[in-house]
Chain A
Amino acid sequence: DQQVKQNSPSLSVQEGRISILNCDYTNSMFDYFLWYKKYPAEGPTFLISISSIKDKNEDGRFTVFLNKSAKHLSLHIVPSQPGDSAVYFCAASGFMSSNTGKLIFGQGTTLQVKP
Chain B
Amino acid sequence: GAGVSQSPSNKVTEKGKDVELRCDPISGHTALYWYRQSLGQGLEFLIYFQGNSAPDKSGLPSDRFSAERTGGSVSTLTIQRTQQEDSAVYLCASSLVGTRSEKLFFGSGTQLSVL
Contacts and interface: CB of A to CB of B under 8 A. Distances in A.
B88 interface: no
A43 B42 contact: no
Q: How large is the interface on B (under 10, 10 to 19, 20 to 34, 35 or more residues)?
A: 20 to 34
3 tightest A-B CB contacts, nearest first: A43-B106, A46-B103, A105-B43
A97 B106 contact: no
Interface of A: 4, 6, 32, 34, 36, 41-46, 49, 51, 89, 91, 93, 97, 99-108
B102 to A, nearest CB: 5
B101 to A, nearest CB: 7
Given A4-B42, A44-B43, A103 B101 contact: no
A33 to B, nearest CB: 11
Interface string B79-106: 0000000000001010100111111111
